[in-house]
Amino acid sequence: MKKPVIAVTPLWDDRLESIWMLPGYLDGLRAAGALPLMVPLEADEDDAQQIFSLCDGLLLTGGHDVDPALYGQAPEPFCAPPCPRRDALERTLFHLFRQGGKPILGICRGVQLINVLMGGTLYQDLPAQKPGVLPHVMQPPYDRAVHTVALTEGGMLSAITGARELGVNSYHHQGIRRLAPSLTAEAHAPDGLVEAVSCPAHPFLLAVQWHPEFSFRTDEASRAIFRAFAEHCM
């Protein structure tokens, strides 16, 4: 059977000036029956259109802080330098896949970028800007739960996982501040932070703040997320 091809956006190493990839993104997709394809960091309009035509779905991975200029703010001292090339690539691909109705999955930075591109804002640094926030930057190993999230009753993520609450890992210092109007919150952390979103107007648009690529080997809910995404790409 032909496998769905998933465009996976690359990570960027500023020090080495090199693209790279966490194997869990690719392995999680392959375990779900998909064929992942890491795309170049830069793509002009023609290249982006060809990526869209070639691929059945888009995975927006974790990594750099999203440029605050994309949501109308100046960078605060605690905001890490952005990667303009990655912001530009993912912005172009997101709009192509969204407008084309193809499935999209966002992880960590991915949920933040989707929220920004659809009109929301971010906390540039949770400890500095959200009083009472939980610690969201865990220590290894990363395939274990460090806090819970409550899933929205009757929501997309609850249907995918068959759960009302999940234990999740956590490695991020930014997060959703104002939710984009066209997005629905799918999960909240105990401190009130939105931890997952969907878009009811899109055939399959789901994004989570935690990292199923670290936990899919031991966690059924993480496998279910990758599996649901891959199945919608077929």
Q: Report, as residue numbers or ranges, the catalytic residues.
A: 108, 211, 213
CA atoms within 13 A on the CB side of 209: 30
Residue 84, C-beta contacts closer than 8 angstroms, at least 6 positions apart: 67
Q: How far apart are CA 196 and CA 44, in angstroms?
A: 30
Q: How far apart are CA 146 and CA 138, in angstroms?
A: 7
Residue 185 CB burial class (10 angstroms; 0-12, 13-18, ≥19): middle
Give the whole-angstrom CA distance, residue 126 versus residue 195.
13
Torsion on CA atoms 50, 12, 68, 208, rounded to nearest 10: 80
Mapping DSSP onto H, E and C, the string for 126-160 reads: HHHHCCCCCCCECCCCCCCCCEEEEECCCCHHHHH
Dist. CA 185–CA 31, nearest whole Å: 27
